[in-house]
Amino acid sequence: MNLPFRVPASEPSAKGCVDQPVIRERGQREVFCGLTGIVWLHRKIQNAFFLVVGSRTCAHLIQSAAGVMIFAEPRFATAIIDERDLAGLADIDDELDRVVNRLLDRRPDIEMLFLVGSCPSEVIKLDLKRAAQRLSKIHLPRVRVLNYSGSGIETTFTQGEDACLAALVADALPETKPTSLVVVGALSDVVEDQFNRIFAQMGLENVGFLPARHAGSMPAIGPETRYLLAQPFLNDTARALDELGAQHIPAPFPLGANGTTAWLKAAADHFGVSDERFALATEAGHKRAEKALAAHRETLTGKSIFFFPDSQLELPLARFLHEELGMQLVEVGTPYLHRQHLRHELERLPAGTILSEGQDVDRQLDRCRESKPDLVVCGLGLANPLEAEGFSTKWSIELVFTPIQGYDQAGDLAGLFARPLNRQARLGGL
Ligand code: SF4
């Protein structure tokens, strides 16, 4: 049967940028550390608490990045470890135990506690894994204690989520009947609800989300489990799932009308959903998304865009902006390029797109200035100087904080890129 709307091919084939050489940069980096992930993870997993074991710098980062989002009972804090604590490692362990015991006494709602490592040398000397195991033994079954690193030495900001989810998969999933389909990557609740409805309309049952909204309702994983990645920065998590026997369903990421349809179609094909049923479940959403995108086409089509490496969302975003909105890709940088997870995105990028992996800020700034793109996607640290030079910029971190996946977010996603260009046009017209 012919579907009443376009479904991009989901079978891998050698095209697009799949075999394209990549510029590899290994210079100075300007990105947030993995602690930043706490900003969205603490909102997602209720009954979980993130205790950063770090310095005052870490406390400042996490409070200024997340401060605006604190409501009545915050779900994160910093245990500050500094030089004075260095009298002996045993003292630090005792101090950590004291902080955790006090916290758990005060907060009976906490069911999962993450000890999040950072980069001060005092913290690096701590064995947080052992501490988590020790504390888990004391507080189980009421609270499970896990650990991961959000250190700026080891992680860029979206890697914090990867490290957190990998820790969850390794140590904290239930051993009940494995979930058939798991969507992996933190999604806002509204997006999760939308996908859940579509999967139900497709007739797929036993669908789970990792992370789940509640610490106590994480999906069980086993060899029967198939998983879809909702985020492109989850390499360690995927490896941990593979080790449990789960299998990845390759797909593009669910950004835009086409991206979302292709992502859903990959699951539908895997589970043998008929074309008719798939069309019934997705057609209305696809059309709504296309209509919402059309409103931004006039602003975006033909405009050039340069991506600095920051969030690892760059390739799926570039595909969306080129394929669905006609933007011209000047350079697409990403901190890490996982060719397997991004294969479907690489296939859809126009051949000849300049791809770069890793960061060397000065060289990338030179290329950016030379190419004079209409819009630059970059981290906060680069945005202000580039704006001062007359470039329009979009903060990549905003794309991580905002719900952008799925049909009903496609228009908002396009709007995030159209807004700085519209603003520039208005300023130019003054
Ligand atoms: Fe800074 Fe490291 Fe703390 Fe991140 S983890 S805020 S990079 S000291």
* pLDDT tens digits, one per residue of 356-389: 999 889 999 999 999 999 999 999 889 999 999 9
Tens digit of pLDDT for each residue in 46-76? 999 999 998 888 888 887 766 544 443 477 7
Phi (first) and psi of residue 319, to 5 degrees: -60, -45
Q: Which residues line ligand 1 (CB under 6 A)?
A: 33, 35, 54-55, 57-58, 61, 118-120, 150-152
With beta carbons less than 8 A apart as the criterion, state whether 246 and 227 touch: yes
Could you tell me the sign of the dihedral formed by the alpha carbons of 202, 224, 262, 185, in that order? positive
Burial-class residue 90 by CB neighbours within 10 Å (0-12, 13-18, 19+): exposed
Per-residue pLDDT, averaged over 176-185, amounts to 96
Percent pLDDT > 70 in the chain is 92
CA 339 to ligand 1 centroid distance, Å: 29
Pocket test of ligand 1: the residue of 55, 153, 157 to mutate, having most ligand atoms within 8 Å of its CB, is 55
In ligand 1, the atom with minimum distance to the C-alpha of 62 is: 6
- Give Cα separations from 372 to 304, 315, 427 (angstroms): 8, 20, 18
Q: What digits encode the pLDDT tens for the residues 16-41?
A: 899 888 999 888 777 789 999 998 89
CB 136 within 8 A of CB 72: no
Smallest CA-to-CA distance from 282 within 197, 205, 206 is with 197
119 CA closest ligand 1 atom index: 2
Indicate which atom in ligand 1 lies nearest the CA of residue 61: 6
Of all protein residues, the one whose alpha carbon is nearest to atom 6 of ligand 1 is 58
